[in-house]
Structure 1
């Protein structure tokens, strides 16, 4: 895989630019894990995450004996994941040892570290790794194939300029992402404020609220227990959807189906349900029709003093939800009894005003939904900006004016071709005079 590169740039394979070594693991690893003070850092995939640049700590250590069977990486070395989070680069801020789910990449002194990091993070290199990799869900790649990836290489001076420009541009992208990422929480708070205002009369400046016991205006219907043999995974004639907690709390479309003989516990899409047991007890939902499971129950208004829509607003409001949290018992598996509603109070506006409150809430929620959709679209665009910037950088577009203004820094002894020759000479010198490693020092101590 190659691309058109600017005049004065060169291309070289990864294997001819850096030293690539695969990690290795002492086995069984549990025999070499240690909490002792002489343990050495054992770098695992779990010590890193997407977007992280440096490895600064590890959760586990291995013994010096285990280190002898592994691969040492020093401060400044790169490691490249070869499993799970496939193809992600990280720079070592600590020394340690890597297993065979990592590659160690050792840069020549004439390669700019930040340029190389951005290059490995780009879709240009990542796409090459994907094409070279084997495997299904979990891909992996051999060291020989990793070495075949082609890298665009400008002069060392231009590498530094590109890295500096990317630092600046991507910092702006991250700042924008952080501001966008904060908006969903703001919208959630806004919706909660709307609900609180709606059920306290502040949304309509109501002067006709009547504080009443909620139990006087609602009735309950418990869901039904259906044995596992009666539940099937596919729709059949004479069967209805069996509505479980996850269908409401997680909006899961993983439905079970049960015989219509259970239809005395059937609910419609506009009916209001509440989770009765478990970690999500008190969750209020609607919008589904089917047979209700026994860990849920339906709450119905009397229809004379209280409408379904206003009841739903009240039950989802922070005022009622806070009341539930104070009253519900059961520790890790709380349960809601119908008796709990005996002391619940509702500020009940007239029927006509309930309709107006519902309309205003729906209008404000529609506005919040519209903003949320715009934010989601903006997040997608911003998420693509990073790769767009990297692509421009490695096509030479970010430094076109700089090259025109600094021809002496990209030609002659400063050219990319001259840089490759010096890198080649450095690699040959290392090959003939292999530097001692920390493994050797550990062996002496043993």
Structure 2
């Protein structure tokens, strides 16, 4: 930390914290010491956010156990530092939660006093700054899960600005970081908006509203409610598909490392498309042709999982392989090309009416629901002309591409905002966030007072101990 601003001082944490303050690990509380009906909250790593208190955990102990273990009760304003990831070294202020609370041993807490060299509010920002995070990471230990010891934390060097400047820095950080948090919250809400947008597009597509202008029947469409356009029909899947068939899996393990035919499972359907890179499995050509022939799928077939939850994950079989096999939790819908466009059928199934319509009738074991093959075959498909189906697919593709573009831009914006927080903290850490005032008392004067107060306290403690020993010796002689 060379080149500190004028009036600033570098000091280790144990010298910043005065003698009458606290820097300590939390308490060692085992499972046997906890009580779900207790009134003392046990603050855990999950509660420590990156600058904010998450208040997520639900662990308790009773007051008797807390006293028996000589636990340290937290106070509002205590700084909590996570000694384990993720991320390692994140810090937040304890806000007070309306009940007694202690914290676990993997959380270090710091309690300031009126003469602390750095306020806990600023110290929180320092811990969350890129520089200190880097120091903590470089000094962490552990092979499987990194951790940092309190003793190492105490020896890390922190920049100490003048007290008056600290207040200006905290005020400015609170202001700009609040703006960043507002931007983050707005960005985080956009994916849900896009999800609802995509669903509304699908609903408009399968009801005929998306192609009202294309058909030229806007007046008629405005008058109807849930009914389909007059030019549309409502057909069962069995009527418009050349095949509706669920997959199958032989009892004996059919999978073979030398197999060449891909075998799809429900977990290979991700975000409404096939992801065969995740846990790919194969069967031999012989098994595929003999034992699994009824569940053969071809590129262009539309798939839907029928065992859940969740139900209704949908995908179109890709051209990655010429033939595929499906397990029993997946049903394939093979469109009759003379009546049905397979991409239109895909969007109909993505809209979810099939699942919604059969949900009251689904059956299954505890925690599981199934859609039967009969329900799949009898499910209703709103059927416009092939030309209108193609137009629907074109429009849905267009709107979805638009939503995908926005989603990609949001992810980039979120990454920039995350970097912005670190940039602001780094700027504050270097003393570049607020102007300096030559009239501020330099930080070295404050550190000198803390050191003198510590020396005085130690001297008083030694004198008191010496007097106590002398008193004991006198008592023995008498």
C-alpha spacing 1:32/1:226, structure 2 compared with 1 (3 Å)? same
State the Cα distance separating 1:128 from its structure 2 match. 0.8
- Partner residue of 1:5? 4
Structure-to-structure mapping, 1:176-325, within 5 angstroms: 176-205=183-212, 206=215, 208-218=231-241, 219-227=243-251, 229-232=253-256, 236=258, 238-249=259-270, 251=275, 253-263=278-288, 264=293, 265-288=295-318, 289=321, 290-325=324-359
Question: Whole-Å Cα distance in 1 between the matches of residues 359 and 36 of structure 2?
Answer: 42
Take 2:135 and 2:403, find their aligned partners in 1: how far apart are those partners? Answer: 42
In 1, distance between residues paired with 2:37 and 2:354? 53
Q: Structure 2: where are the runs of 5+ without partners?
A: 216-228, 462-478
Q: CA RMSD in A?
A: 2.6
Q: Does 1:339 align with 2:364?
A: no
**More deviation, 45-54/162-171:** 45-54
Q: Which moved more, 1:335-344 or 1:353-362?
A: 335-344
**Separation of aligned partners in 2, 1:54 and 1:194:** 36
Structure 1 384/419 Cα, relative in aligned 2: closer, same or farther at 3 Å? Answer: same
Conservation of the 8 A alpha-carbon contact between 2:81 and 2:91: yes
Match in the other structure for 1:109: 114
Which residue is 1:377 aligned to?
A: 412
1:423-442 alignment runs, 5 A limit: 423-429=450-456
- Where structure 1 has 5 or more consecutive residues not aligned to the other structure, the ranges are 435-446
> How many residues are matched?
419
Taking the aligned partners of 1:354 and 1:56, their CA distance within structure 2 comes to 48
Q: 1:349, CA displacement in angstroms? A: 1.1
CA distance in 1, matches of 2:388, 2:55: 59
C-alpha deviation, 1:159, in angstroms: 0.6
Residues in 1 aligned to 2:53 and 2:47: alpha-carbon distance in whole angstroms: 12
- In terms of mean alpha carbon deviation, does 94-103 or 272-281 score higher? 94-103
Structure 2 CA distance for aligned equivalents of residues 224 and 50 of structure 1: 48
- Alpha-carbon spacing, 1:393–1:49, altered in 2? closer, same or farther (3 Å): closer
Instruction: Report the CA distance shift for 1:370/1:31 in structure 2 as closer, same or farther (over 3 A).
Output: closer
Check whether the contact 1:80–1:87 (CA below 8 A) recurs between aligned residues.
yes
Could you tell me how far 1:427 is from its partner in structure 2? 3.7
CA distance in 2, matches of 1:282, 1:35: 38
Structure 1 segment 168-183 matched on structure 2, within 5 A = 168-183=175-190
Distance in 2 (CA, whole Å) between partners of 1:254 and 1:338 is 26
Which stretch of structure 1 is more off in the superposition, 13-22 or 92-101? 92-101
Is the alpha carbon distance of 1:192 and 1:398 closer, same or farther for their aligned partners in structure 2, counting shifts above 3 Å?
same
How far apart, in 2, do the equivalents of 1:346 and 1:262 lie? 34
Shift of 1:304: 1.1
The normalised TM-score by structure 2 is: 0.80
- State the SS of the aligned residue for 2:370: coil
- Taking the aligned partners of 2:55 and 2:260, their CA distance within structure 1 comes to 55
Deviates more, 1:215-224 or 1:92-101: 92-101
